[in-house]
């Protein structure tokens, strides 16, 4: 039914565009109905990303709102704080219709996972993950922002029709102690022989003081750099990217097991990052929610297209990570370490 109306709409759009001096993005308009016919792109699934829903989760994960009758998450470093965080993630996933899995690798060390199976049987997985712990602070940017972004991806991508690749959503424990949870998980998934075609890690995606919307794309393996750029353009997001060689976050654990990985973050390497990093001041109020929503849209658009097997661009020339700037991340020897 919709298709019939398409030609008329397009000419109206062309007119509009002419009047509005091409401020409207043709991809936004053109892609939706055509998608189902042509390349099967995700029909802008990322437009279903909801800032208000993300804000609600962020309030709970940073101790600004209670988890029903289970109490308040004041910090996500202590075993109690991390256990409460896992409770909240599990409850939120069940509310979305998922069957969350707990991957316990040591005492007080457990990751959370949830699978979104493809509509056509597949043995391939795309992993989308973020660390759930903090350095005993509210950890709003580091890393409630990433945890909420993955939760939102889980909420939105299950609405995507035609998925041909499974998606595994994961929340890693004990990242702040040196990627402990993600190392254990990547190792176990490797041992199980899971076919992970790409891993997308989100760590600190809540700060954009200079309002330039730049997303840091760190250590994009294989086709991922070109693929992110392709989708950024084809979906009309057109966000500025900053490619870096910064490691020391959970994508490194998957990279080490031979799975193509990438980390999405605020401009951690080039400086427009939260001044409250690993400090008491990393609270809900400091997070730039519009920026977090934009970054989440990018990840949802890319993972959506990958799950639909939208082909990568032709003529990819891989450039070694070493040609890009990098910046150290801080690990703590324990959650008891003092923070200002």
Q: Which residues bind Zn ion (CB under 5 A)?
A: 142-143, 203
Closest to Zn ion by CB, 36 vs 245, is 245
CB of 131 to Zn ion, least distance (A): 6
Closest to Zn ion by CB, 142 vs 305, is 142
Give the strands of the sheet with 109-116, arranged side by side.
101-106, 109-116, 166-172, 124-131, 195-202, 261-265, 215-218, 241-244
Closest to Zn ion by CB, 143 vs 197, is 143
CB of 180 to Zn ion, least distance (A): 13
Residue 247 and residue 244: Cα distance in Å, rounded?
Answer: 9
CB of 158 to Zn ion, least distance (A): 26
Which residues have C-beta within 8 Å of that of residue 211, sequence separation ≥ 6? none
In this structure, the number of other CB atoms found within 10 A of the CB of residue 105 comes to 16
Question: In this structure, are residues 247 and 326 in contact, taking their beta carbons and an 8 Å threshold?
Answer: yes
* Strand residues in the chain grouped as ranges (E): 101-106, 109-116, 124-131, 166-172, 195-202, 215-218, 241-244, 261-265
CB of 295 to Zn ion, least distance (A): 14
Question: Strand 195-202 relative to strand 241-244: parallel, antiparallel, unpaired?
Answer: unpaired
Closest to Zn ion by CB, 46 vs 203, is 203
Residue 166 and residue 124: Cα distance in Å, rounded?
Answer: 6
Closest to Zn ion by CB, 152 vs 203, is 203
Alpha carbon 266 to its chain centroid, in Å, reads 12
Residue 220 and residue 198: Cα distance in Å, rounded?
Answer: 10
Closest to Zn ion by CB, 152 vs 305, is 152
Helix%, strand%, coil% for the chain, nearest 5: 40, 15, 45
Closest to Zn ion by CB, 203 vs 252, is 203
CB of 86 to Zn ion, least distance (A): 17
Residue 62 and residue 94: Cα distance in Å, rounded?
Answer: 21
CB of 195 to Zn ion, least distance (A): 27
CA distances from 81 to 57, 61, 78, 159, 264 (A): 15, 10, 5, 31, 25
Closest to Zn ion by CB, 31 vs 143, is 143
CB of 264 to Zn ion, least distance (A): 12
Alpha carbon 184 to its chain centroid, in Å, reads 20
Residue with tokens 């060689």: 245
CB of 122 to Zn ion, least distance (A): 31
């Amino acid at each position: 039914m919709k298709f019939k109306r398409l030609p008329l709409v397009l000419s109206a759009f062309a007119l509009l565009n002419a009047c509005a001096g091409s401020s409207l993005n043709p991809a936004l308009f053109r892609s939706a109905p055509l998608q189902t016919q042509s390349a099967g792109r995700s029909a802008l699934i990322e437009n279903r990303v909801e800032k208000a829903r993300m804000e609600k989760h962020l309030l709970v994960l940073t101790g600004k709102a209670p988890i029903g009758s289970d109490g308040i998450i004041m910090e996500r470093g202590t075993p109690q704080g991390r256990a409460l965080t896992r409770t909240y993630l599990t409850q939120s996933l069940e509310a979305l219709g998922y069957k969350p899995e707990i991957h316990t690798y040591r005492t007080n060390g457990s990751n959370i996972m949830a699978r979104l199976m493809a509509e056509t049987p597949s043995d391939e997985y795309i992993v989308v993950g973020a660390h759930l712990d903090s350095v005993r602070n509210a950890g709003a940017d580091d890393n409630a922002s990433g945890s909420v972004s993955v939760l939102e991806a889980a909420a939105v991508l299950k609405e995507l029709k035609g998925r041909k690749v499974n998606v595994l959503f994961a929340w890693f424990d004990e990242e702040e102690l040196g990627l402990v949870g993600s190392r254990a998980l990547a190792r176990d998934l490797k041992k199980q022989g899971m076919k992970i075609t790409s891993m997308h890690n989100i760590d600190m995606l809540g700060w954009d003081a200079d309002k330039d919307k730049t997303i840091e794309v760190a250590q994009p393996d294989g086709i991922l750099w070109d693929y992110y750029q392709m989708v950024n353009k084809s979906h009309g997001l057109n966000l500025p990217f900053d490619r870096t060689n910064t490691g020391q976050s959970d994508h490194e654990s998957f990279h080490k097991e031979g799975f193509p990985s990438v980390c999405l973050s605020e401009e951690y390497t080039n400086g427009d990052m939260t001044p409250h990093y690993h400090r008491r001041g990393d609270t809900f109020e400091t997070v730039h929610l519009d920026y977090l929503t934009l970054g989440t849209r990018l990840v949802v658009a890319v993972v959506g297209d990958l799950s639909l097997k939208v082909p990568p661009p032709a003529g990819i020339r891989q450039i070694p990570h070493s040609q890009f700037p990098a910046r150290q991340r801080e690990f703590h020897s324990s959650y008891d370490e003092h923070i200002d």
